[in-house]
Amino acid sequence: MTDIIQLLPDHVANQIAAGEVVQRPASVVKELLENAIDAQSTSIKLVVKDAGKTLIQVIDDGIGMSTTDARLCFERHATSKIKSADDLFNLHTKGFRGEALASIAAIAHVDMKTKTVDAEIGTKITIEGSEVTEQEPAVVAKGTTISVKNLFYNIPARRNFLKSNTVETRHIIDEFHRVALAHPQIEFSMIHNGSDVFKLPISNNRQRIVNIFGSKMNEKLVPVSEETEILKVEGFVIKPEFAKKSRGEQFFFVNNRFIKSAYLHHAVNAAFEGLLKEGAHPGYFLFLDVDTKSIDINIHPTKTEIKFDDEHAIYAMLRATIKHSLGQFSIAPVLDFNKDTGFDTPYEYSKKQPTAPTIEVDKSFNPFQDEPKQKNITFPFKREEKKSTASWQSLYTGLESESTIVDQTESIEFESEEVTGTLFENDQEENLRVTFQLQNKYIISPIKSGMLVIHQNLAHQRILYEELLKNITVQEAVSQQLLFPLQLSFSNPDVVLIEDLKEQLEHTGFVFSQIKDGTVEISGIPVSISESQVETVLSQLVTDIKEEVPDAGFSQNDLLAKSMAKSMAVKTGTALKQETQLHLVHQLFACKEPSVSPGNRPVLITLDANDFDKKFM
């Protein structure tokens, strides 16, 4: 039997490794930013074109690399961070396995320019698909500049799996947030398609959070701080009244490395127990410092998962620390056992003799005494004397006798009271079909075969969805102008997202007067929503765009209509009048798909009369 096992060529092995390390352009951004931080940079600039598909460039002012290191860094598992297996449990840097640059170079065109502080001249290297095509000395600034072009150019199947530019840009911004939040001592900037997205100066943790998420975030933050032998916790949690239904603003950092941990997230939820509305999620920015020997960060290719040595102790400390902060800043309700000093007896009264209370009585008061008579009032006009009614019989003189009256009434003909048919029999039957509400959630309507049960929220979603989708497509929405424009605050990424959706939103009835610097000014809103709903509708829309994966064109319009319909629809638990119920039913059956909601949930069910008969057998 011949041998069938063989060693893979290096370029194939690198492409396989790239499948784990580089999932999308955001993965390249993460690896390059972390390398720049490891290079002791004080200023890092990220340049992105076409959501990273065309270009990802990271420019830093770090220590740079020598000519030999510049060539060696693109080899597999070439690293300066570890020399033995024991070093894996004493890591203080981001990258350590030496596979990121090798994986990126295997699936893209890479240009690198680097120079150390002491060197007079730097090095330029060009790599295409793991092959070095050019290496030469070059005059460059101190630090390193890496440009990754045409990602997945040699793996078209992987390139086809990439989402739209909007979605990929969203992932890149998320990775940028994670790195920038962990290192406020470094200046960061980001440029996308020639326009500035972020410019973050050197600051502290609180200022960095505010610079990223907008000035309104400052009032929402509650500081958290605790230090023990096992764990040091710093950071902030968001006040419960500002909790959202999405999981967007949730960040854990362990030793300045962003991680995902469902276990620690549960600890935060436990600390907020009883303070959040149903369906709301707490927001937090928590920085944990632990001993590097007590954690293992080498259990996941992207290094976003960490194994703790003593998870239970960290869970308990984190929950207790957050609870303490919420109580300390009067966020959580507390029992106050301090007595009111106003009820205490003064010290100077301690030696005084008690005296009996005295009662004063008005001895002249007589409840049976007659009230003083009212004085006679004279009128300027003469009052007529009331006529006597003694001769009342004179009022009935001249009337005929009873028999005469009866004779006259016999000759009167009355109109027939027989019930005749009407031209509007169907309308009468329709009026008899009375709808009623069950638990302020369902609308019950009788039909010939039995009973129709309609979910009021899902039904209204379907009605609004078709109306909004028609307005966006036909561009004939009606807008109501506001007397005073609304000014809403959003984070910079959310403002960019709203600006991208401005044209579609204007087709639904919104009128934007200004969008800039984290503020959205609205001077007109759709007729179907109230002024108080505007911020909720836009916030829910931004959240849905982030969580969904819309593509360009019709799908994005569809998601826009779904999100707005969900926010604007009548909520479960709202009492509806009889006329409103009938109007909702008529509007529903005027839709193209009345039986299914925009989220593919059933809107109505039919209960047959035979089903009720079986219950009584």
Domain holding 563, by residue range, is 437-606
| pLDDT of amino acid 98 | 61
Q: Integer distance in angstroms from the first to the last C-alpha of the chain? A: 76
Rounded to an integer, the average pLDDT of 435-460 is: 87
Are 221 and 158 part of one and the same domain? no
Is the pLDDT at 438 greater than 70, yes or no? yes
- The 10 Å Cβ neighbour count of residue 129 is 17
Residues 151 and 262 in one domain: no
Closest CA to 236 of 271, 272, 215, 209: 209
Contact 62, 141 (CB under 8 A): no
Contacts of 296 (CB under 8 A, 6+ apart): 88, 89, 306, 307
Residue where a domain terminates, one of 200, 221, 249: 200
CB 509 within 8 A of CB 477: yes
pTM comes to: 0.66
**What is the C-alpha separation between 423 and 350, in angstroms, rounded?**
94
Task: Give pLDDT, residue 428.
Answer: 45
Tell me: do 82 and 226 sit in the same domain: no
Token pair, residue 296, equals 């293992």
pLDDT at residue 554 in the model:
47
Q: Which pLDDT score, from 0 to 100, does residue 111 have?
A: 93
Closest CA to 526 of 482, 492, 485, 566: 482
- Examine the domain organization and report whether 172 and 229 are in the same domain: no
**77-91, 188-202, 385-399, range with the lowest pLDDT:** 385-399
In a domain, 219, yes or no: yes
User: Which contiguous run of DSSP H or E holds residue 200?
Assistant: strand 195-200
In whole angstroms, give the CA distance from residue 541 to residue 494: 10
91 in the same domain as 234: no
Report the pLDDT averaged over residues 392-411.
Answer: 54
Q: What is the pLDDT of residue 553?
A: 44
Q: For residue 571, tell me if it sits in a domain.
A: yes
pLDDT in tens, 358-377: 888 888 888 777 655 555 55
Closest residue by Cα to residue 260 from 279, 278, 247, 271: 247
Is 219's pLDDT higher than 90?
no
* Judgement on whether residues 193 and 225 belong to the same structural domain of the protein: no
Indicate the residue type of 160.
N
**Which of 293, 311, 328 is the last residue before a domain boundary?**
328
| pLDDT tens by residue, 511-521 | 888 887 778 88
pLDDT at 87 over 90: no
Q: What is the pLDDT of residue 332?
A: 60
Reference 542, options 526, 558, 560, 527; nearest CA is: 560
> What pLDDT does 189 receive?
93
* Shared-domain flag, residues 162 and 42: yes
Residues 219 and 173 placed together within one structural domain of the fold: no
Q: How far is residue 454's CA from residue 585's CA, in Å, rounded to a whole number? A: 8
Model pLDDT for residues 93-135, shown as the tens digit of each residue: 666 556 788 888 888 899 999 999 888 899 999 998 888 889 9
Q: Are 228 and 220 in contact (CB under 8 A)?
A: no
User: Lowest mean pLDDT: which of 86-95, 370-379, 542-551?
Assistant: 370-379
Higher per-residue pLDDT: 472 or 372: 472
pLDDT at 148: 93
Helix axes of 492-500 and 165-182: crossing angle, nearest 10 degrees: 170
Please, are residues 45 and 191 in contact by the beta-carbon 8 Å criterion?
A: yes
Asked if residue 20 has pLDDT above 70, the reply is no
Final residue belonging to a domain, choices 179, 200, 221: 200
Residue ranges of alpha helices (H) inside 155-257 are: 156-160, 165-182, 205-213
pLDDT > 90? residue 187: yes
Q: What is the mean pLDDT of residues 271-289?
A: 87
What was the pLDDT predicted at 421? 45
Q: How confident is the model at residue 423 (pLDDT cuts 50, 70, 90)?
A: very low
Residue 327 pLDDT exceeds 70: yes
Q: Considering the chain, what is the average pLDDT of its residues?
A: 79
Burial of residue 123 (number of CB atoms within 10 Å: 0-12, 13-18, 19+): buried
Strands lying side by side in the sheet with 109-115: 131-138, 122-128, 109-115, 143-149, 55-60, 43-49, 187-192, 195-200
| 87-111 exposure pattern, b = at least 16 Cβ within 10 A, e = fewer | eeeebebbbbbbbbbbbbbbbbbbb
94 and 194 housed in the same domain: yes
Backbone angles phi and psi of 60, in degrees to 5: -130, 165
Q: Is residue 35 part of a domain?
A: yes
The confidence score (pLDDT) of residue 170 equals 84
Distance, in Å, from the CA atom of 165 to the CA atom of 595, rounded to the nearest integer, reads 34
Residues counted in the chain = 617
Domain count, the chain: 3
Helices 456-474 + 578-588 axis angle, to 10: 50
Q: Are 149 and 24 found together in one domain?
A: yes
Neighbours of 45 (CB within 10 A): 18
Question: Which one has a higher pLDDT value, 315 or 336?
Answer: 315
